[in-house]
Amino acid sequence: MRLSIVVPCYNEEAVLNETLTRLTKLLRGLINSAELSSDSEIVFVDDGSRDATWPIIEKAASVDRLIRGLKLSRNRGHQQAVLAGLLNARGDAIISVDADLQDDINAIPEMIKAHAAGAEVVYGVRKQRTTDTFFKRFTAEGYYRLLAWLGVEIVFNHADYRLLGRRAVEALREYREVNLFLRGVIPQLGFMSAIVYYDRAERFAGESKYPLSKMLALAWQGITSFSTMPLRLITGLGATVSLMSIGISLWAIWLRLFTESSVPGWASTVVPLYLLGGVQLLCIGVIGEYLAKTYLETKRRPLFHIEKDTTHLTPHVALSNAYAHPEDKPVV
């Protein structure tokens, strides 16, 4: 099997040499033990770095044929850099891993085994987050729960360390997401999947290229690219406020008819305030529902991916149309 390892790099001169050494050593080992074919590769994607990252990659690529470099025209962000690598790698299976090797590369052989056992997608999942700060751990785990509640299908505590088989990558190619959140797209692909657990280490040099602002942007991306729940919540809020205002008006009528404590002008001021507010929210919510439909349509996501096809088992049936049932065709 031919493996590609995709490594996005943004201003990583401090870690790159070490990363190169460790990855090539691992890959050579696997090639020597005949687990991988010798045309496997490590694809470093330079995401518009402004330091010596690209010269380092270029130099390494010129002396080692396992190493290949791709340079993006400018900084596009981690997700885009990973996608560029995935769509251009040549392997039968492709593993994406961060340049700082926080994700334990010793899980790679296990990922390959899981793939050989039939899993088209193998998710790397961190066992614990002891190397993260309390803040990062708290927000990250809370975020995964929020996504699950919003109905976004996602693998808990899985970042972008994963193996994709060739078929999964070709399926991914059909997604034309401008707002890219790979963690959300990959589970959409389907196919058989497996999970490999690993310990997450600390970044061994350099500092995080993910400041809070980028993290928040990615978090927001994950919600708005996959869930229309926020729009639906508006509808719910509108309906609740409308019902409440009907309750208030009944109460006001009751006060007026059966007690002495009604304040003149109160009901005619307060009830319309709530009622109109509620009706407006409800209307915005309804508009939101249509917006959500339009939004999903504009994504033009593929409707299906075919995992298996038995046409090769029945050589006389030439199945050209994916919608046609084999029995519809004359068997020659």
The residue ranges that bind Mg ion (CB under 5 A) are 98, 100, 102, 203
Task: Give the DSSP H or E segment for 56.
Answer: helix 53-63
Asked if 221 interacts with ligand UDP (CB under 6 A), we say no
Asked if 9 interacts with ligand UDP (CB under 6 A), we say yes
Query: Please, is 159 exposed, middle or buried when counting C-beta atoms within 10 Å of its C-beta (0-12, 13-18, 19+)?
Result: buried
In angstroms, the CA 136 to CA 213 distance is 13
The site partner of 78 among ligand UDP, Mg ion, none (C-beta below 5 to 8 Å per kind) is: ligand UDP
- What is the 8-class DSSP label of residue 71? E
Asked if 169 interacts with ligand UDP (CB under 6 A), we say no
* Smallest distance, ligand UDP to C-beta of residue 55, A: 16
Asked if 183 interacts with ligand UDP (CB under 6 A), we say no
* Smallest distance, ligand UDP to C-beta of residue 49, A: 8
* CB contact set of 323 (below 8 Å; sequence gap of 6+): none
| DSSP assignment string, 118-172 | T-SEEEEEES--TTS-HHHHHHHHHHHHHHHHTT----TTEEEEEEEEHHHHHHH
8 Å CB contact between 82 and 96: yes
8 Å CB contact between 182 and 82: yes
Asked if 208 interacts with ligand UDP (CB under 6 A), we say yes
Give me the 251-290 binding string for ligand UDP, x by CB under 6 A, dash otherwise: ----------------------------------------
Asked if 12 interacts with ligand UDP (CB under 6 A), we say yes
The site partner of 10 among Mg ion, ligand UDP, none (C-beta below 5 to 8 Å per kind) is: ligand UDP
Asked if 126 interacts with ligand UDP (CB under 6 A), we say no
User: Nearest 5°: CA angle at 80, between 83 and 209?
Assistant: 120
Asked if 77 interacts with ligand UDP (CB under 6 A), we say yes
Asked if 85 interacts with ligand UDP (CB under 6 A), we say no
Q: Identify which of residues 47 and 104 has a Cβ nearer to ligand UDP in the complex.
A: 47
